A and B are shown apart, each in its own frame.
Chain A
Amino acid sequence: MTRIADDHKGTSHLLMGNEAIARGALEAGVSVAAGYPGTPSSEIISTLAKVPKEHNLYVEWSTNEKVAMEVAAAASFAGLRSMCVLKQNGVNVAADFLLHLSGSGTRGGIIIVPCDDPGALSSINEGESRHFARLLEIPLLEPGNFQEAKDMTKWAFELSEEIRNLVMVRSVTRLSHASGNVIFGELPKEAPRAFFKHDGFILDPMEGIVVSVPVSYRHGQQHEKLKKSIEIFETSPFNIYTGPDNPELLIITASVCDLYTREAVHILGLQDRVGVLKLGTTWPLPPKLMEKVMGRTDKILIIEEVIPFLEENVKILASELAPKIGIKTFFGKRDGSLPMAGELNPDLIISVLVKIFSMRYESMPSSYAEKAETYALKAAPARDLTFCPGCPHRASFWSIHNVLKMDNQEGFVCGDIGCYSLATLPTGFMSLKTMHSMGSGTGVASGFGKLDQFGMEQPILSVCGDSTFFHSVMPALVNAVHHKSNITVVVLDNSGTAMTGFQPHPGLKVDARGNEAPNIDIQAVCEAIGAKVKTSDPFDFDGTQKALFDLLEDKEGVKVLILKQICALSPEKKEKKMFEMSVNIEECLGQSCGCNRLCTRIFRCPGLVWDKDNQTARIDEAICTGCGVCANICPSGAIKKEEVA
């Protein structure tokens, strides 16, 4: 499809929001891009990583978001344009550095691009990066469509250089992962050179040292820059009002909510009664523009997702401007018109508008709706999330579950974020009993492991992925070893950052751009830290369970079990089945005593289905990936595997 780094100036291309952001960065002449994979942000770095080598770019998947931000900052200090890309949680990880960076100021244009996930479509929280902009006192830009995703990204670099500080460009899942038409601009021709000036006057922002002290001086400078950005925002073309001169209702919105709002207004035919102010620069708000637009009406509805960030900032301005614009009636989250949690969509906005305007609206004929609902209830059983067919995690948790049950001391597993988070569900035999941020499984386990002096005797396990190991497990492991915490850490090494699309990490021999890279060996790291380490193939149940039992019996200090088996979605595995699987229905015990459908009732690989009519398990050839694992769980040996030549 579209080659993102081809010039094509003036032509229209169908781009994913993340690709549009990447294109915007290229048009701005970005030199360095760093990030840590996280849905929905990952495709920005992946796209830039694929840009041909003649465009002298440096792109990396960093060990974690804080490091990514630091890598990008260095480029800015050396006068280059750079960016850091992360999902909402990543901003938390980078926050400590960010607070110092906004204090020290920057040189070459630098932007941070967090992609938030309202509705937590692929997250375990609805965290918000917007309030970080306020906390860090840096400008916040929110593209409202695909063209803006490109154009605002490009502009953000210019703004950053104008104010000599970081600029945040915030996207959300429904923009990052949606696609729309984008008209390309020009790609820059010059190749910038990097040089870090550090011998000038100490307080010179472009030639002195890059530090946040003296704090009150630099902080004051930062506020001067913020004032400058407000001036720029007053006339920004990304803040657009559409609607009648004096609407009955003014909607203030931003980001993808603008598209939902326009859809809702259009469906209800309210174009002549409702005005929409779409803001692209959402913090700090430009007061003159706001005064002008809010002065048009008495009723204001603020539409945004999750926390009432825009709403609160608008209300602060509105109270300051009250002598000029009068007292307004507000609708939004704080009065309950819109929910505080979950993502929005056109229907939610339709229902708010219908209420405000006392209208009637039927989205589908009621007889149809009733019938459709009845049929769906009857014939569309829910689809719970599950590990993919052939996923090594299913095998790993099978062993972990069995060992903990057999060990019979109410041992438990602390987890964190990755595909293996699904082990809170039946697909992972509900093995995870705590689940928080990246790497927190091992940190929490380290704490549990010190509770023996309060009488806690339960065995304590943690799990982490290979990418997560480098991201944030290592400090927790060091902590556990140093404090002699009696825990067993299971590293589920599937050779990639699998959940987000199989990006490389420091444990692999390849980097983001496909170049050969020195790999860091997890086992060697763990041993150097002082843990006892065993390695096993999770598809080998006997070996894995033996290793786990051995480690659990060892009550001294930190043990690590590395379960190594490549992800079923990896390019290597996707191509080829290892085994052709089949079920011998004569031997299948089915529901009788002695089996009771272990494979389909408990193991639940999507590649194995229960044939109700014949009362036997069956392989679904369209789904089965031929990993062969289920043959090892069948108590009667009815599941057969035959090696594919």
Chain B
Amino acid sequence: MEKTKLSFDPFNLIITGVGGQGNVMASRVLGNMLSHKGFHITIGETFGASQRGGSVMSHVRVSSASSLSPQIARGQAHMIIALEPIEAIRVLMTYGNPEVNVLCNIRPIHPVGVISGELDYPSLEDAKAYVTELSKSAWFVNATDRAMEQMGNPIFGNIILLGALAGTNLLPLDRDDFKMIIQGDMTQDKVKINLDAYDMGMEMVKG
């Protein structure tokens, strides 16, 4: 295993979204990909009741040295992957800083308070503008809609974003590692569709 150098050590990444979006799976696949590269990985996450319609966050920390706190400290994120746009803003409030990068899925999931009419959901333009202003660079992708169109299931949005993350070149990610890791748990046709999603994500960021 050869170790590539990290742009920050530790590199602090947060995957955020809403319960049911495949957040936990994305963080574990990503962690395993980087672990395979020889890094020490710490992932902090919550599940259980907090998953029922609530915001779900995974803190992924990549280090050349050791296990770290499963909770990143305030203002210390280097990269935020948001499976839902307003979750990006929520996470930026606590973990953001002027140097942070954001990869953001633009498909909204309305909180129940918005559905009921008690709260307002921002326009996509506003949400994008705020994310852009609070980050060094921001990528916006329509992962959910593309997943529904191409894969027939919105759940592949998380893998599209993983592919997009690889496309940003901010972390040393290998498509072969991705393939190897998902192969252990999936049938061949599932592997194929996941690889397609990964590739689609990479293209979306490059294009």
A–B proximity contact (CB within 8 A): yes
Chain A contacts to B: CB under 8 angstroms: 1, 3, 12-14, 39-40, 121-123, 145-147, 173-175, 177-181, 256, 259-260, 262-264, 267, 345-347, 350, 363-365, 368-369, 371-373, 375-376, 378-388, 419, 421-422, 426-427, 499-500, 597, 600-602, 604, 606, 608-610, 620-623
Chain A to chain B contacts (Cβ below 8 Å), 15 pairs: A1-B32, A14-B28, A14-B31, A39-B47, A174-B44, A259-B70, A363-B76, A372-B93, A372-B134, A379-B127, A379-B130, A381-B120, A383-B54, A384-B112, A606-B112
- CB pair B48–A500 under 8 Å, yes or no, is yes
Question: Distance in Å from the Cβ of B197 to the closest Cβ of chain A?
Answer: 15
B35 cross-chain contacts in A, Cβ below 8 A: 12-14, 181
Chain B residue numbers with a CB within 8 Å of A177 are 44-47
**Cβ contact within 8 Å between B50 and A379:** no
Q: Which residues of B contact A173 (CB under 8 A)?
A: 46
| Residues from chain B with Cβ under 8 Å of A499 in the complex | 48-49
Please, how many angstroms separate the alpha-carbon atoms of A215 and B126 in the complex? 71
Q: Cα distance A424–B167 when bound, in Å?
A: 44
Given contacts A145-B67, A147-B67, A385-B49, contact A379 B117 (CB under 8 A): no
Within 8 A of A (CB), among B90-127: 90, 92-93, 96-98, 107, 109-117, 119-122, 126-127
User: What is B's interface to A at a CB cutoff of 8 Å?
Assistant: 18-20, 28, 31-32, 35, 40-50, 52-55, 67-76, 86-87, 89-90, 92-93, 96-98, 107, 109-117, 119-122, 126-127, 130, 133-134, 144, 148, 154, 181, 184-185
Give the docked Cα–Cα distance between A430 and B106 (Å): 32
Contacts of B18 in A (CB 8 A): 383
Residues of B within 8 A of A371 (CB): 133-134
Give chain B residues whose Cβ lies under 8 Å from the Cβ of A180. Answer: 40-43, 67, 70
Question: With A380-B90, A623-B109 in contact, is A345–B73 under 8 Å at CB?
Answer: yes
Q: Is the CB of A382 within 8 A of B73?
A: no
Chain B hits for A384, CB < 8 A: 53-54, 111-113
Contacts of A145 in B (CB 8 A): 67
Main secondary structure of the interface of A (DSSP, over half): mixed
A376, B93: Cβ atoms closer than 8 Å:
yes
Q: From residue A544, how far is it (CB to closest CB) to chain B in Å?
A: 22
Q: What would 20 more interface pairs be, CB under 8 Å, given A145-B67, A384-B111, A609-B110? A: A14-B43, A121-B46, A122-B47, A146-B42, A174-B44, A178-B43, A259-B70, A347-B74, A363-B74, A364-B97, A368-B98, A376-B89, A380-B86, A382-B113, A383-B54, A384-B113, A387-B52, A427-B53, A610-B110, A622-B109
Task: Tell me the smallest distance from the CB of A352 to a CB of chain B, in Å.
Answer: 13
Which of chain A's residues have a CB closer than 8 A to the CB of B75? 363-364, 369
What distance in Å separates the Cβ of A390 from its nearest Cβ neighbour in chain B? 11
Q: Is the CB of B92 within 8 A of A259?
A: no
A residues near B76, Cβ cutoff 8 Å: 267, 363
Closest Cβ of chain A to B160, distance in Å, is 13
CA distance A123 to B46 in the complex (A): 12
Cross-chain contact A382 with B68 (CB below 8 angstroms): no
Asked if B93 and A375 make an inter-chain contact with CB atoms under 8 angstroms apart, the answer reads: yes
Interface residue from A39, A181, A345 paired with B49 (Cβ < 8 Å): A39
Q: Give A261's nearest chain B residue, CB to CB.
A: B69
Q: Which residues of A contact B112 (CB under 8 A)?
A: 383-384, 386, 426-427, 604, 606
Give chain B nearest CB distance to A607 CB in angstroms.
9
Q: Give A372 to B77 CA distance when docked, in angstroms.
A: 14
CB distance from A497 to the nearest CB of B (A): 12
- Measured between beta carbons, the chain B residues less than 8 angstroms from A146 are 42, 67
Inter-chain CA distance A498–B111, complex, in Å, is: 22
Q: Are B67 and A606 in contact, CB atoms less than 8 angstroms apart?
A: no
> Which chain A positions have C-beta within 8 A of B86?
379-381
Closest to B85 in A: A379
**Complex contact B117–A610 (CB within 8 A):** yes
- Contact assessment for A379 and B126 in the assembled complex, using a CB-CB cutoff below 8 Å: yes
- Nearest CB in chain A to that of B1: its residue: A12
Closest CB of chain B to A333's CB: distance in Å? 19
Instruction: Say yes or no: A365-B32 contact (C-beta < 8 A), given A121-B48, A181-B67.
Output: no
Contact A122 B134, beta carbon cutoff 8 Å: no
- Please give, as numbers and ranges, the residues of chain B lying within 8 Å of A620 by CB-CB distance: 109-110
C-alpha gap A173/B74 in the complex (Å): 20
Q: How far is the CA of A41 from the CA of B101 in the complex (A)?
A: 34
Tell me the complex Cα distance, A427–B31, Å: 34
- Chain B residues whose CB sits within 8 angstroms of the CB of A606 once the complex forms: 53, 109-110, 112, 115
Residue pair A178, B45 in contact (C-beta under 8 Å): yes
Known: A121-B48, A365-B97. A621 touches B148 (CB 8 A): yes
Q: Which listed residue (A1, A346, A386) contacts B69, Cβ 8 A?
A: A346
- Closest Cβ of chain A to B56, distance in Å, is 9
How far apart are the CA atoms of A421 and B87 in the complex, in Å? 25
A174 to B57, CA, bound (A): 13
Identity of the chain B residue whose Cβ is nearest the Cβ of A147 in the assembled complex: B67
Q: Is the CB of B73 within 8 A of A350?
A: yes
Among B54, B69, B119: residue with most chain A CB under 10 A = B69
A419 touches B52 (CB 8 A): yes
Q: Are B55 and A383 in contact (CB-based, < 8 A)? A: yes
Residue numbers in B under 8 Å from A600 (CB-CB): 115-117
